[in-house]
Amino acid sequence: MPPPLKLALASRRYPPLIGGAERVFGYLAEALAREGADVSVLTSKTAEARAFPDRDEIAVANGRLVVHRLRTSPLRFVGTWMYMRNLERWLTSNPVDLAYVSMLKHDAYVAAGAGRERGFPVVLRPEGAGATGDVAWQAQGNFGRRIADRCRRADAFVAISKAVHDELTTAGYDDSRIHDLPNGVPIPKRAWQRRPGWNGSPHAMFVGRLAPEKNLGALIRAWPIVRHDYPDARLTLVGEGPERPALERIAREHGLSTGAGAAVDLPGASDQVEDLLRTADLFVLPSIEEGMSIALLEAMALGVPVVASSIPGNRRLVADFKHGRLTATEPHALARTIIDQWTAFDRAFHMSRAARRRVEQGFSIAAVARRHLDLFRSLIESRRVQAS
């Protein structure tokens, strides 16, 4: 029996310090280990992670998963330099069969150089497209163009969406080395169930970063319209981000109370997404820009009824009136679609079960991990043939 693949997965942030990209990377690390790989996750020990150990071995059936939190600094540029130095030291002093890197940023630059020095293949994974995506960052960020030049020499690139694939080719990445592999999420064993008496106080939930592209201001502006039909309807926005003060202000301006149990609640980030979603009667994603939303996949996998903006990334996952409802992004359209889901709740429930089956069949993390391993093994074998 061949020895297990020694995989190094690099991500500047890692659960429990999470956004969508970090969460799916964590899911993938565990799934690769369950498939028998020896997985080392390399991440930064930021100020928020000071309570976590430098080395944390996580019990996983069939394989091995170790999280290494590399020393850094709270000072912006010093911290980046320290993380890059410690990442390079780890990659060049430990056995690695392949490195897989989240985002086309500093981690990717270091890994591509270490792979060339040590002879292991490197796979890079952009986490988003558009104005906030990886290719845009390379065009605008400090040292972005230099990092892009090295990134283009990596052995392969994973595109999680057509938008990411198209941006990579436009930016000069070799199309023959781009592999379309979607995000994946775990499939909960127990599906979401509707709450008895839910329509007395219906509860909608968003999970994700409180950022401009999520269009949450429009969702809050939609809430007085929703509450005209459902006076006790509640909206919970789970997450943190730069838009929090603006969202709280918009809620006040529209006469909406805020806090636990109020019309609008912003409880902060949480790593208990499944438990939170089970308390909701609807998941809402009003974004104006998405690659492939992890939060939307998680809601669909659980079987929560959904309303999502009709943008390309969401249309890839949701067929309108089949897996959930798609909507325009302005407040009135959002409100009417949310009301329609609650008014025709039996229909919404049946759509939620179709959405769960869709994720089971095409986006389970186990299936996505196996497709990654097929790619990794082919790259490792190709490198060995070239070296012989």
pLDDT attached to residue 17: 56
Write out the two tokens for 52.
């976590």
What residues in the chain have per-residue pLDDT under 70?
A: 16-19
pLDDT attached to residue 387: 78
pLDDT attached to residue 98: 98
